[in-house]
Structure 1
Amino acid sequence: MNIQISDIGHVIQLAIAPVFLLTGVATKLSVLTNRLARIIDRTRVLEDRLKDGPNAEYSSELETLYVRSHLINTAIASSTGCGLMVCLVIGLLFLGDTTNLPLDQYIAGLFVVAMVGLISSFVYFLREIFIASRFMRMQHMLSLQHPRPPAPNE
């Protein structure tokens, strides 16, 4: 096993694109986890308010938040799976070059699986955004139909 410096340089060049993809996936995971944290915070507030007594408005919002959290969790799992597959692609690129094993089909397969994970993550994320937007529109329409009186301190 005689590895030349130029061979390592070539493998590093091949691995750069997946590394950039991995950076994008990590950034997307950050966005998704921040969104999940906001959903969890709002859920806790509503659950505390519901301890004082039943409220149909809070219960409705809580159900929407549960659906959104499920979608975000699925998007996070898909993005994490994508990141794992990209890491395996990078590892197999190096392994295949240093050992002269024909791993090209495995690398291509893992890359396709990574793209399926990334696509599904975007689909779940988009679905969550649609639900959040629809809920906001519904709340806005309700507030126009039934305006609330101003609070005493306003």
Structure 2
Amino acid sequence: MSPFPGILPDEPIDSVAHLIQTALTPIFMLSGIGTLLNLFNTRLARVSDHIEKSNDALATTKAPTERRHLRQHIRHLHRRTLLLDASILLAAVGGAATCGAAFVLFLGSLRDSSVASWLVVMFGMALICTVGALAAFLCDSLAAWHGLRMTTSWARSTHPKD
């Protein structure tokens, strides 16, 4: 007998717990994707600021080796912006797919119909896009690390310790 007659059906606790888990999964995933989007956008803003400073430095410097290094550094930063753009695009599509999965869950509960295939497609697409966004962000992180090593080695070669 249900503790709330007429409100909650007489269902085992496992099926109710499963329903709650299913309903909350897209919400937690969307929250995580939102956090990733914030991180990616912040990182892109920092790289864009660095490009602007490097372009300003390129406009004022006359030394050919330093100009060549600055041009190479700007090209490297542009490649990083492409990786971050890909991260943002994939995360946004993953977020949209997560919203789609939540919407399919909602429609399924309203219509009491079988929407399992749509749910699998939408949630699967959300997961794939989120993994792709993280992979592109990892590539940007590796590119940043490589750029830092290149800049450090260039600085050591042009400004040796006395």
Same structural fold, with TM-score higher than 0.5 when normalized by the shorter chain: yes
What is aligned with 2:110?
A: 98
Alignment of 1:142 with 2:142, yes or no, is: no
| TM-score (normalised: structure 1) | 0.85
CA distance 1:145–1:47, shift in 2 (3 Å): closer
What is aligned with 2:25?
A: 17
Q: Tell me which amino acid in the other structure corresponds to 1:114.
A: A
Q: Helix, strand or coil: the match of 2:113?
A: coil
Aligned length in residues:
145
**Stretches of 4+ aligned residues off by more than 6 angstroms:** none
Structure 2 Cα separation of the partners of residues 141 and 34 of structure 1? 27
Structure 1 Cα separation of the partners of residues 26 and 70 of structure 2? 44
Structure 2 Cα separation of the partners of residues 17 and 128 of structure 1? 28
CA distance 1:5–1:109, shift in 2 (3 Å): farther
Gaps in structure 2 of 5+ consecutive residues? 1-5, 10-15
Q: Tell me which amino acid in the other structure corresponds to 1:93.
A: L
Identity within the alignment, %: 23
What is aligned with 1:46?
A: 54
Structure 2 Cα separation of the partners of residues 84 and 6 of structure 1? 32
Deviation, 1:21, is 0.7
Task: Give the root-mean-square deviation of aligned CA atoms.
Answer: 2.1
Deviation, 1:57, is 1.6
Alignment of 1:75 with 2:87, yes or no, is: yes
Q: Tell me which amino acid in the other structure corresponds to 1:80.
A: A
What is aligned with 2:12?
A: none
Gaps in structure 1 of 5+ consecutive residues? none
Which structure: larger Rg? 2
The higher-RCO structure (CA 8 Å, 6+ apart) is 1
Deviation, 1:66, is 0.3
Structure 1 Cα separation of the partners of residues 31 and 24 of structure 2? 11
| TM-score (normalised: structure 2) | 0.81
Structure 2 Cα separation of the partners of residues 132 and 45 of structure 1? 16
